[in-house]
Amino acid sequence: MSYYRPYKKYQRYRRNNEDPVEGILRFLAVVLMFGFISLYFSDPKKFWEIIFGFIAIGIFIGIVILFYKKRNKIFKRNESITHSIQINESESQILEENSTNFNKDIETHHSSNEKQEFPYEKNEHLLSIAENNFYQILNKIAENSNTIIETKVRLEDLIKVPFYTPNYWGLRNRIKSKHIDFVLCDKGRISPLIAIELDDSSHNKPDRIERDNFVDEALHGAGLPILHIRVQQFYNQYEIEKQILDKMTE
């Protein structure tokens, strides 16, 4: 069985790759072989004369076969070279077309950038009316305490997650899109002293309460106090100043 399989593969290979001329010659050789055998038994003397004649013919046929194979090999090689040249020409044509299209895209992009107008509009006020009312009171407190006020400060600008902390990206994403309404800072290095949130009715929503609890715990863990002030129509400056001092000295 181990010898049979390679033989079958060889036979299959021969059938798929056999040249038609070789097949005809092989058939004629088999016919001649049977003819010689019958002639040998009928007339041995004439058999040897014919053998020498066929040897000469065989040498001639062998030369013809070698010439045919060599010509066929050269033809296939030339065909392969021609095909490769055609492929290279088509590839170079494609590359040239792509380069032309790319240059056109660049020109279109530059021209579009020159003409493009974005549909943005400037906000007229950085603070809402309620926030601005509270800011005026907070500004007086800052002047008295030699501090400055920063508004709309990102939470990530106030606290950070050490890079070696497990779940670094998850913890950072939780503070990335949040901001604090007001931050009281010293005038020297603009170091944050206390965060102040102005709470309106939206802070009573469950998701907002959850958000405020997280912010409070995060700032408390980082060592920065936070004070929540309810929105009011009128503010008592001294009462708010006292709340700030009490929160900072806790």
Measured distance CA(233)–CA(125) in Å, rounded = 19
- Nearest-angstrom CA–CA distance, 190 and 142: 13
Q: For the chain, give the number of residues.
A: 250
Residue 223 is predicted with a pLDDT of 94
Q: How confident is the model at residue 3 (pLDDT cuts 50, 70, 90)?
A: very low
Rounded CA-CA distance 133/49 in Å is 130
For range 161-169, the mean pLDDT = 89
Using CB atoms within 10 Å of the CB of residue 46, give its burial: 0 to 12 exposed, 13 to 18 middle, 19+ buried: exposed
In this predicted model, what pLDDT tens digit does every residue of 58-113 receive, in sequence order?
777 777 777 766 766 666 666 665 555 555 556 556 666 666 666 666 666 555 55
pLDDT of residue 202: 84
Are 204 and 198 in contact by the 8 Å Cβ rule? The answer is: no
Q: Which two tokens stand for residue 53?
A: 């004649």
Do residues 157 and 190 lie in contact, with contact meaning Cβ atoms separated by under 8 Å? no
- pLDDT, tens digit, 9 for 90 and up, residues 103-157: 666 666 555 556 678 888 888 888 988 899 999 999 999 988 889 999 999 999 9
Question: For the whole model, what pTM was predicted?
Answer: 0.52
Q: Do 6 and 14 form a contact (C-beta atoms < 8 A)?
A: no
For the record, the structure tokens of 222 come out as 């980082």
Contact 139, 149 (CB under 8 A): yes
Nearest C-alpha neighbor of 196 from the set 148, 143, 138: 138
Instruction: Judge whether 231 and 198 are in contact, CB under 8 Å.
Output: yes
Measured in whole angstroms, how far is the alpha carbon of residue 147 from the centre of its chain?
A: 48
Angle, helices 206-222 vs 168-176, to 10°: value is 120
Q: Domain locations in the chain? A: 4-113, 129-248
At the second CATH level, the architecture of 129-248 is: 3-Layer(aba) Sandwich (3.40)
Residue 137 in contact with residue 238, Cβ under 8 Å? no
Q: Report which DSSP code applies to 173.
A: H
Q: Which helix (H) or strand (E) holds 36?
A: helix 20-42
